Amino acid sequence: MNYIEFLLWVRGPAFQIAIAVFVFGISLRLLEILLLGRSPEYAAPRGSAVRGGFRTLLTRTMSEESIFRRAPLLIIAGYVFHLGLFIVILLLVPHILVFKDLLGFSWSGLPTPIIDAVAVITLLALFILLIYRIKHPVLRFLSTSQDYFAWLITFLPLLTGYMAYHHMINPYPVILGLHILSVEILMVFFPFTKLMHAFTLVMARWYNGANAGHKGVQA
Amino acid sequence: MSKYPTIGESLRHQGISRRDFLKFCTAVASILALPAAMIPKIAEALESTPRQSAIWLSFQECTGCTESLTRSHAPTLEGLIFDLISLDYHHTLQAAAGTAAESAREAAMQGNKGNYLVIVDGSIPLGNPGYSTIAGISNVDMLKEVVAGAKAVVAVGTCAAYGGIPHAAPNPTGAVSVDSLITDKPIINIPGCPPIPLVIAGVVAHFVTFGQLPNLDSLKRPHSFFGQTIHDRCYRRPFYDKGLFAETFDDEGAKQGWCLYKLGCKGPVTYNACATTKWNDGVSFPIESGHGCLGCSEPNFWDAGGFYKPLSVPINGVIKATTGYALAAGAAVGAASGALNRLKRSQARQNHETVTITDLERNQK
């Protein structure tokens, strides 16, 4: 297999496998969760479930001040890498073209050097979080191999994308192919690891908040 | 002039001045990325070497490669290739036909055994030898027979280098490239549809001067011409970096000469010299004329997902169907799993035994 055949493979059959596994996994897990249903609510309502839901959506997205003061770096790096990922994935023109091809609509992107800078910041933030996870005794104790694996498959697409843009491996189709392949690995494992939180966090927060709201708990 | 004139003699015979000859040597050194000190050496070698005997074999091809060479305006550098070599057999260009033509080939093979250059354009069909024959000889037989006594093989054009259009899916003739059949001779690929004539001239000049082929990359292409991508040397590159793209071929961006990435330009993955050497005596190259690069000097460029689809976009046309099936399958398995969970819960509820105070007290004793 020469490098062009490799690139054609990752853009063709490999992408097809990846998207099939991704869509299969997401629909399986979402349906599984939703079909669990909610236990019947016997208590008389003491507050609004809807308001509780919205409030928790917001409060769980913001950081509690006391918690922030205990580990500011962890929280800032966490925000930075999530925002960075959104910018890099959704605002780089070649990425937007993929979404346009798959979804049928598109939006405008940012100049590549800006994305490049954001990618570097995101890589640094992810790196800081890894070091933090390894250095902090409690966090290290709580970490499973899946945590490190999820970190790796998130880190690799960013790293290979950065390397592709800067032509760090020649010929260029090799690193471009590796970048696409790393995203496909991410897609395959996404629904079956904790990365699934991207799809579940809104409803999970809503569920907790609505429960608390119904009971009149100030959560 | 002797029976085997040197290249120098031949050029003078054509009315090329010494000044023009040295200019040509300088250009050859420069395009091959050789130091200026090599220019006298090239001049000396070309001056004193008899013209290199070459046999040109045309298989499954469209004659575009030959057209590209012969249409270049004399006395350009490209035109001079015919003065560097003694083209002993080329069934499109030679005057002889039929038996006379084939005898010319055999005479050249015997007269220069072990020293001649074989230039091939077109792919070789393996599906059925009858798909392409010359004088009743199948392409694969003729290639093997001629290459047996050759010093080196030059695969000119994408068809000879990688199989090209005949090799494109579904490849009805079973077309293959030259290097998939020939493994015991030095081979150089000069891909392109058509290839840049100057590259052919440069490679031949290098071969005549040094007696060997220039440095090659992993796809057997000369480094000096295929070392950088079209994108690396594209004059529209600054627009790519700024994020300024033409959305259609006639919008304001296209008129401003913005980057053609969104319109499917394959420049970023295409290694060739078009952006620097240009075409038609240095007039322009495809991107300069407003059309994206097709990637014609890379393998399988016909099967790379469409000329107008951006490079980053997945190739397969059946992704929507795949996604639909995957969604349905996921939903089905999810529903089954959900039903199973409900069953477990109702069973747990049924098996639930109420524990009374007396039970607990009994356990404590």
Residue B131 reports pLDDT greater than 50: yes
Handedness of CA B273, B276, B280, B286 (dihedral sign): positive
CA B250 to chain centre: 29
Residues of B in contact with A15 (CB under 8 A): 314-316, 319
ipTM field: 0.84
Of the candidates A2, A25, A28, the beta carbon closest to that of B219 is on A2
Residue extents of the structural domains in chain A: 46-215
CA B315 to chain centre: 20
Q: How far is B323 from chain A (nearest CA, A)?
A: 5
Residues of B in contact with A170 (CB under 8 A): none
pLDDT at B209: 82
CA distances to A8, A50, B222, B224, B331 from B269, in Å: 11, 52, 17, 17, 39
For A:13-52, CB contacts with B below 8 A are 13, 15-16, 19-32, 34-37
Q: What percent of chain B has pLDDT over 70?
A: 95
Same CATH topology for B51-222 and B230-312? no
Q: Which amino acid would we find at residue B65? A: C
Q: How far is B276 from chain A (nearest CA, A)?
A: 19
CA A160 to chain centre: 17
- Counting beta carbons within 10 angstroms of the beta carbon of residue B208, is it exposed (0 to 12), middle (13 to 18) or buried (19 or more)? buried
Contact flag A2-B218 (C-beta cutoff 8 Å): yes
Residue extents of the structural domains in chain B: 1-49, 51-222, 230-312
Interface contact A96, partner B, CB < 8 A: no
Residues of A in contact with B349 (CB under 8 A): none
pLDDT at B59: 94
What pLDDT digit, counting tens, does each position of B37-59 carry?
A: 888 888 888 888 888 888 999 99
CA distance B161 to B180: 9
Chains A and B: how many Cβ contacts under 8 Å? 134
Label residue B1 by pLDDT band (50, 70, 90). very low
CATH of domain B230-312: 4.10.480.10
What pLDDT digit, counting tens, does each position of B280-307 carry?
A: 878 899 999 999 999 999 999 998 888 9
* CB A64, CB A71: distance < 8 Å: no
Interface contact A5, partner B, CB < 8 A: yes
Dihedral angle computed from the Cα positions of residues A160, A166, A171 and A176, in that order, rounded to the nearest 10 degrees:
40
CA distance A152 to B299: 33
Identify which of B199, B228, B229 has the alpha carbon closest to the alpha carbon of residue B214: B199
What pLDDT digit, counting tens, does each position of B92-125 carry?
A: 888 888 899 999 899 999 998 998 999 999 999 9
Contact flag A16-B310 (C-beta cutoff 8 Å): no
Label residue A122 by pLDDT band (50, 70, 90). very high
Residue A15 reports pLDDT greater than 70: yes
Of the candidates B232, B242, B327, the beta carbon closest to that of A23 is on B327
The pTM for the full model equals 0.87
Contact flag B245-A93 (C-beta cutoff 8 Å): yes
- Domain B51-222 homologous superfamily, CATH: NADH:ubiquinone oxidoreductase-like, 20kDa subunit (3.40.50.700)
CA distance A130 to A162: 19
CA distance B85 to B4: 11
Residue B11 reports pLDDT greater than 50: yes
Identify which of B217, B245, B161, B317 has the alpha carbon closest to the alpha carbon of residue A174: B217
Kindly state the average pLDDT of the residues B173-198: 93
| B334: nearest CA partner in chain A | A28
Both tokens assigned to B20: 């023009």
Q: Which amino acid would we find at residue B10? A: S
